[in-house]
Amino acid sequence: MRARWHQSILIRAGLALLALLLLFGAITVGINLSYNQARAEQTTEERLSQLLDTVESTASIACFTQDEILAQELIAGLLRNSEVLSVAVEADDQPLASLNRGANEGTLAEASSTPILVREIYSPFSPQMRVGRILLTPNQALIKANLQRETRIAMLQTALQTLLAMLAFAAAILMLIIRPITAISDRLHRMNAAEGERIPIPAGHQGSEIGLLVQDVNRLADRLVETLEEERRLRIQHAVDEQRYHAIFNNAETGLFIIDERGYLSSWNPAFARLMEFPPEAETLAQRSLFELAWSEQGRFTELLLGCIDADQSRSAELGYRLKDDSQRWLSMVLTPIADESIQGVIYDVTQHLEAERSAKRSAVTDRATGLANQLGLEQQAKELAQACDLHEGGGFALVLLNLDNFTRISEGLDPAASNAILQEAAKRLCSNVKGSDLVARISECQFALLLAEIQRALDVEHIMERALHALQQPLVVASSTVKLQVSEGIALYPQDTDANITTLIQHANLALSHGGSGQLRRMRFFNPGLARLAEDRYRLETALHQAIELDQFVLFYQPIVDIGQGRLVGAEALIRWKHPQRGLVPPDSFIPLAEETGFINEMGLWVLEQAGHQLAAWKRAGLERYLSVNVSAHQIPSQLTPEYLEDLAQRLSFEPSRLGLEITEGVLIGDVGEVQTWLEAVRDRGFLVYLDDFGTGYSSLSYLKRFRVDRLKIDKSFIRDLSNDLSDQALVQAVMSIAHSFELEVIAEGVEDPRQVRLLRDMGCRYAQGYVFSPPVAIEAFTEVSERIPKLFDAIAMETSP
Amino acid sequence: MLMQDRKGLLLLLLLFALLMSQSAVVAEDSLVVVMGSDSDVERLTLEQVVHIFLGRFRRLPNGLTATPIDRPQDQSLMTDFYQLLVGKSPAEIRSYWSRLIFSGKTAPPRQAESGQEVVRWLAETPGAIAYMRPDECPPQLRVVLRLGP
């Protein structure tokens, strides 16, 4: 491409230069002109003045003598100079002579306006005496003509210089700039940069601006080529990516689509069409809106879309979709706003997932055996009911917990299917005695729960439950045997019996249940705040009990056991006492059951053994051969108090195992027969004595005595209390004595309170006795004194017999 | 102009020097300008004498035309006279007159051959005027101006 002529650098630079030179020339000429004129005038004046000098002496003489001839001669001489136009000589202010150059009118007229050179003339003999003057008129026209000629020459010279300078400049521009640029430009047009072609630097331009420009252009070309290459690579990569994404899009199992804010689809993948059951030709159909599709709940889709648009964030929801076969498909839809006010959607079938989840949820709240709700289901339902009640003030409901007290025992002898049958029957009976809207749940192995809605008063519950209880307690036949269920129940009412918390409500019902269980006749019990207080007391006591060992609040009391045949002290039963700083001496009945329930009995038992061991060791060191027996709870046998531990204890504290008696109750023997038997044998093998405590009160059975080998029997104090008067008790004790003898067991009578009893027992052949007649349980400090008192006491008792 | 000033100054200095030397000469050689005793001119000023001898005005106060007489044969007298009168040498005076002779309008003084001729011309030519040393001045002549000390 060529530059248009008026845009060419050459022309533009030339014009600029021309203008500059013209301006410069005009100024120069102007200055010259005015300067030359002034100079010309001055030199003319000087010349004329010098001319006058040459004639001054002559003029002086001419004027002095007023000699016209001489004056005229002088004038003629002056006029020979062409610059002189006219000369006049005056002597003594009178014209002496004057002469004009034979000139035309014009010069004369001009002469009148031009200045006249005047030279005063003095006498040749007296320099002070003026004798006349010369008036000389210069020839201005001639001077001016000369000046103009000179100016013209100067201008011509300037013009010539300008022209030459311009030519030189144009040549320089053409050679140095325009031709290289044109060459570069031509080369650029033809250059194939991608092929590696570059512009050569014009000759002689290495290092010049043009050379640098060419280098820059070449570098730019390099960069452009690189960029293009990169761009091309990216484009290919992009195409590959796009193809890949397209494949993913088409092959995805998940439905993908893009909609606008009005729900109109702009694109979707085959999976989407499949999930939505679009006809195969849907691709060709005109736009359709998701709003027009067969959603089960149109509102949910609208809500999802608007939520997504409003929040400008991803939103998801599960939507039901009606299929052509009228079944429902559950779709999880995630909408994400993308650019251009479009929304990208992902959709997939969650029908199976949802159903699995629902069934899992259902099974989570369902009891498998009965198909009733389980604990979780009960809690959920109770919460819902509570919310409903809170909304409608004045409403309320009852939570009834039913415990099948004897179910564990019954089911022990039955196979699981039969047990289930019992539970199912119980469930059926319960369900048939409550309203359809009430919930029946099985919340543990042998516990059912009822939620009775719309209950205002306890009396309403009582009516319903009496009926239900009656039904439950009817005999039922399972595995060809008749079973009768024993049921206890605890009832708590919402909202009266709770602080608006369902967990508390269930706790309270449980409290009522556990307290109801103790009364044999009244198996139905309502919660009342007193129960809560009791529970709280119990909780406090429990807490205190756990700290008792640490705080050293336990002490052992010792009750002497006396050989009533020989009248001497043989040992003692160690009994735990709790010295509570506020409560005082807490009776064992108040804390032993609690300790057993909470399992603290194990810890406590060990403490007792430890103390007893120390005492035995002390006696041994004192040379006293005494037995000491401690109570062992059923909880401790067999694993909590191992024979190994006992052996270790005896060794550690160095006492004789045969001096330590472990008092167990008959209840122990009811547990796991094999384990208990093993324990007993192991303990006895190690030399420890085993006493069977409270003999005669429990399921005393001769077969036990046969199976479980023990060392001594302790006859329960209830048989001793009325021994003196009650003949049947006497007969009973007598019978025990004979059994003991036949099993070679020694017998200890407990609760012996008066000397008559002592005598009776001795007569019956009972060897040992313990009781208030000898001493109450006392602290170890008092025991020595007691032990010293016993022989005297026994003598007194024996003396009573002699009269 | 400067050159002219300097020239003028030089001229002035020269003139002054001449005057000084002249005065020394004049101390002995004073001159008198005389006219015939019949002329009714009693006195003339130096300027009037200059004008008359150098041809500017030759009219006497009484209206007669004055006729100056030179004494070229007595060179020293003539030298003294012009020296005293205008401070110029006879050569300069000759040069002066040579320029004027061309036009012919003014003539130089009459050239007397001798002192007697001067006296004679003074007597016979009304308005004749001449110069001489005071000691050679006859009594019939009237001194109109005394030059020198």
Whether A521 shows a pLDDT value over 80: the answer reads no
Report the pLDDT value the prediction gives residue A127, as an integer from 0 to 100: 82
Is A125 within 8 Å of B102 when comparing Cβ atoms? no
Q: A125 at the B interface (CB within 8 A)?
A: yes
Of B56, B88, B100, the CB nearest to A70: B100
Residue A52 Cα, gap to closest chain B Cα (Å): 12
More confident residue, A613 or A699: A613
CA-to-CA dists, residue A366 to A369, A399, A400, A443, angstroms: 9, 18, 18, 9
**Which domains are present in chain A?**
6-163 (no CATH), 252-356 (3.30.450.20), 369-527 (3.30.70.270), 556-801 (3.20.20.450)
| ipTM, interface predicted TM-score of the complex | 0.76
CB A689 within 8 Å of CB A571 = no
Confidence of residue A561 (pLDDT cuts 50, 70, 90): very high
3-state secondary structure A3-45: CCHHHCHHHHHHHHHHHHHHHHHHHHHHHHHHHHHHHHHHHHH
Report the pLDDT value the prediction gives residue A763, as an integer from 0 to 100: 86
Interface test with B, best of A46, A67, A117 (most B CBs within 10 A): A67
Confidence of residue B12 (pLDDT cuts 50, 70, 90): low
Is A64 within 8 Å of B86 when comparing Cβ atoms? no
Interface test with B, best of A45, A61, A130 (most B CBs within 10 A): A61
Report the pLDDT value the prediction gives residue A56, as an integer from 0 to 100: 87
Residue B113: CATH number of its domain: 3.40.190.10
Is A124 within 8 Å of B96 when comparing Cβ atoms? yes
Of A53, A69, A124, the CB nearest to B105: A69
Could you report the per-residue pLDDT of A328-361, keeping only the tens digit for each?
Answer: 888 899 999 988 788 999 998 888 888 888 888 8
Interface test with B, best of A46, A65, A128, A130 (most B CBs within 10 A): A65
**Cβ-Cβ contacts under 8 Å, A61 against chain B:** 96, 99-100
Report the pLDDT value the prediction gives residue A544, as an integer from 0 to 100: 84
Could you report the per-residue pLDDT of A728-747, keeping only the tens digit for each?
Answer: 888 888 888 888 888 888 89
Whether A112 shows a pLDDT value over 60: the answer reads no
d(CA A32, CA A48): 23
**Cβ-Cβ contacts under 8 Å, B4 against chain A:** 53
Report the pLDDT value the prediction gives residue A404, as an integer from 0 to 100: 84
Confidence of residue A501 (pLDDT cuts 50, 70, 90): confident
Q: A77 at the B interface (CB within 8 A)?
A: no
Whether A453 shows a pLDDT value over 60: the answer reads yes
Confidence of residue A231 (pLDDT cuts 50, 70, 90): very high
Whether B1 shows a pLDDT value over 50: the answer reads no
Could you report the per-residue pLDDT of A355-381, keeping only the tens digit for each?
Answer: 888 888 877 888 888 888 888 888 888
Report the pLDDT value the prediction gives residue A284, as an integer from 0 to 100: 55
Is A64 within 8 Å of B104 when comparing Cβ atoms? no
Report the pLDDT value the prediction gives residue B7, as an integer from 0 to 100: 60
Q: Is the dihedral of CA A642, A644, A649, A650 positive or negative?
A: positive
Whether B38 shows a pLDDT value over 70: the answer reads yes
Please state the domain count of chain B.
Answer: 1
Tell me the average pLDDT of chain A. 83
> What average pLDDT score do residues A771-798 get?
86
Of B8, B50, B96, the CB nearest to A61: B96
> What average pLDDT score do residues B28-40 get?
80
Of B8, B12, B105, the CB nearest to A67: B105
**Cβ-Cβ contacts under 8 Å, A68 against chain B:** 103, 105
Report the pLDDT value the prediction gives residue A520, as an integer from 0 to 100: 47
Say if residue A495 is preceded by a cis peptide, omega within 30 of 0. Answer: yes
CA-to-CA dists, residue A459 to A453, A456, A464, A526, angstroms: 14, 9, 9, 10
Whether A568 shows a pLDDT value over 70: the answer reads yes
Is A125 within 8 Å of B50 when comparing Cβ atoms? yes
Residue B30 Cα, gap to closest chain A Cα (Å): 20
**Cβ-Cβ contacts under 8 Å, A125 against chain B:** 50, 54, 86-88
Report the pLDDT value the prediction gives residue A546, as an integer from 0 to 100: 84
Residue found by looking up tokens 């009168």 in the block? B85
> What average pLDDT score do residues A395-408 get?
84
Whether A311 shows a pLDDT value over 60: the answer reads yes
> What average pLDDT score do residues A533-537 get?
80
Whether B77 shows a pLDDT value over 50: the answer reads yes
Report the pLDDT value the prediction gives residue A477, as an integer from 0 to 100: 83
Q: A66 at the B interface (CB within 8 A)?
A: yes
Could you report the per-residue pLDDT of A237-255, keeping only the tens digit for each?
Answer: 999 999 998 898 888 888 8
Report the pLDDT value the prediction gives residue A189, as an integer from 0 to 100: 87
Report the pLDDT value the prediction gives residue A232, as an integer from 0 to 100: 92
Say if residue A638 is preceded by a cis peptide, omega within 30 of 0. Answer: yes
Contacts 24+ apart (CB under 8 A), B56-63: B56/A64, B56/A65, B56/A66, B58/B127, B60/B127
Report the pLDDT value the prediction gives residue A106, as an integer from 0 to 100: 44
Report the pLDDT value the prediction gives residue A235, as an integer from 0 to 100: 94
Of B4, B87, B103, the CB nearest to A70: B103
> What average pLDDT score do residues A634-640 get?
82
d(CA A268, CA A261): 16
Confidence of residue B8 (pLDDT cuts 50, 70, 90): low
Whether B25 shows a pLDDT value over 50: the answer reads no
Q: Which of these ranges, A111-115, A219-223, A576-580, has the smallest mean pLDDT? A: A111-115
Say what percent of chain A tops pLDDT 70.
94
Report the pLDDT value the prediction gives residue A731, as an integer from 0 to 100: 87
Report the pLDDT value the prediction gives residue A17, as an integer from 0 to 100: 81
Q: Which domain holds residue B29?
A: 2-147
Whether A133 shows a pLDDT value over 60: the answer reads yes
Of A65, A69, A125, the CB nearest to B86: A125
Chain A residues 356-395 with a CB less than 8 Å from chain B: none
